[in-house]
């Protein structure tokens, strides 16, 4: 039984969809502020950065902005940090698609960066987006209402969640996982680090900027970490049940590459059940948040229903 999930209204999901669309538009308007103007002979790297940023759900920026607002900071004040998370996320997608890693030719319904340009440009564009992400995070200090002290804290945590103890470590474990049999402990490590930690970092960043209490920062972090785990499990499910046209990226590649996934570990129905359990946990964790419960619960249902 999943009573919390069953109690989430369609109106809550509709609210999240509306905010996601509005946030995507606002983020897209602000992202160019944090992209360098590059002339010849290096202009191609700038073109590759802009190309790769097109499209995308912008769910991580949405989490930053809504977290800030939930703890009393107007959402738009946190926009530089929200953009920073999107810049980094896009960089990870560019590098993830490279022939040396996942060798994927399609991303966001378009040719992947290394296909549209070339492999060297894609590597450098990803590198440049990571640097641009830190520029965006640092620019947050110029906004009234946010102290430099909390901006430094966000940057420090960002490095932890994005680096070898976070996304990069999870990526390497994902590659290693292709060479060994299905292993629950390894799979949990991959999902936590490759995906969930950036969700957690986004939630914590908004709360830190709002100067929320340590207890509140921990609460939003726990919720977002669980949401991130749910997001990755649903991603695993979609890889075996959806289409490239729907997802905007190739499907069936996880099984072909021998990836560590929940459908491989416990079967598709077992993965569905695990996703429902995670969604219930995330919904329960919203009780620890001070307000904005309708949004946070609707977001859980939206992520869960990606494979419905």
CATH classification of the domain holding 76: 1.10.600.10
Please say whether the beta carbons of 66 and 19 come within 8 A.
yes
Residue 150 tokens read as 């909390």
Distance CA 217, CA 210 (A): 10
| Residue-level pLDDT, tens digit, the chain, 308 residues | 689 999 999 999 999 999 999 999 999 999 999 998 888 899 999 999 999 999 999 999 999 999 999 999 999 999 999 999 999 999 999 999 999 999 999 998 899 999 999 999 999 999 999 999 999 999 999 988 899 999 999 999 999 999 999 999 999 999 999 999 999 999 999 999 999 999 999 999 999 999 999 999 999 999 999 999 999 999 999 988 866 666 666 777 888 888 999 999 999 999 999 999 999 999 999 999 988 999 999 999 999 998 54
Q: What is the pLDDT of residue 247?
A: 62
Q: What is the pLDDT of residue 308?
A: 47
| Bridge partner list, 111 | 106
Print the domain residue range for 265.
3-307
Q: What is the pLDDT of residue 248?
A: 67
Task: Report the phi/psi class of residue 292: left, alpha or beta, with left for phi > 0 and alpha for psi in -120 to 50.
Answer: left
Q: What is the pLDDT of residue 253?
A: 80
> 236-244: long-range contacts at Cβ-Cβ below 8 A with a sequence spacing of 24 or more?
236/261, 236/262, 236/263, 236/271, 237/262, 237/263, 237/268, 237/271, 237/272, 237/275, 237/307, 238/306, 238/307, 239/263, 240/268, 241/268, 241/307, 242/307, 244/106
Which strand (E) or helix (H) includes residue 111?
Answer: strand 110-111
Residues sharing a CB contact under 8 Å with residue 297, sequence separation 6 or more, in sequence order: 4, 8, 12, 283, 286
Residue 258 tokens read as 């021998």
Residues sharing a CB contact under 8 Å with residue 11, sequence separation 6 or more, in sequence order: 294
DSSP codes of every residue in 176-221: HHTTS---HHHHHHHIIIIIIHHHHHHHHHHHHHTT--HHHHHHHH
**Among positive and negative, which fits the CA dihedral 47, 92, 307, 249?**
positive
* Number of domains into which the chain is organized: 1
Q: What is the pLDDT of residue 245?
A: 67
Interstrand relation of 106-107 and 110-111 (parallel, antiparallel or unpaired): antiparallel
Distance CA 280, CA 285 (A): 9
Distance CA 76, CA 200 (A): 20
């Amino acid at each position: 039984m999943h009573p919390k999930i069953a109690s989430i209204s369609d109106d809550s999901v509709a609210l999240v969809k509306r905010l996601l669309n509005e946030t995507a538009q606002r983020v897209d308007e602000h992202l160019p502020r944090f992209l360098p103007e590059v002339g010849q002979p290096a202009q191609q790297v700038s073109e590759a950065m802009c190309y790769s940023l097109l499209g995308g759900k912008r769910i991580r920026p949405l989490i930053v902005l809504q977290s800030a607002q939930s703890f009393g900071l107007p959402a738009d004040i946190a926009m530089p940090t929200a953009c920073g998370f999107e810049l980094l996320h896009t960089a990870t997608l560019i590098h993830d698609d490279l022939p040396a890693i996942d060798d994927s030719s399609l991303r966001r319904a378009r040719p992947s960066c290394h296909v549209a340009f070339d492999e060297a440009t894609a590597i450098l564009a990803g590198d440049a987006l990571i640097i641009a992400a830190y520029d965006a995070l640092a620019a947050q200090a110029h906004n009234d209402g946010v102290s430099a002290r909390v901006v430094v804290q966000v940057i420090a945590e960002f490095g932890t969640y994005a680096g070898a103890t976070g996304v990069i470590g999870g990526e390497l474990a994902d590659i290693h996982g292709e060479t060994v049999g299905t292993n629950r402990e390894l799979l949990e490590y991959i999902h936590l680090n490759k995906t969930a930690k950036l969700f957690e970092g986004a939630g914590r960043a908004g709360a830190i900027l709002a100067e929320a209490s340590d207890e509140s920062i921990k609460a939003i972090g726990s919720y977002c970490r669980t949401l991130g785990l749910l997001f990755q499990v649903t991603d695993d499910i979609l890889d075996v049940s959806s289409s490239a046209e729907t997802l905007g990226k190739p499907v069936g590649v996880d099984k072909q590459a021998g990836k560590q996934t929940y459908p491989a570990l416990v079967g598709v129905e077992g993965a569905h059940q695990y996703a429902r359990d995670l969604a219930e946990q995330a919904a329960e964790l919203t009780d620890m948040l001070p307000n904005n419960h309708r949004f946070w619960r609707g977001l859980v249902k939206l992520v869960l229903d990606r494979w419905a």
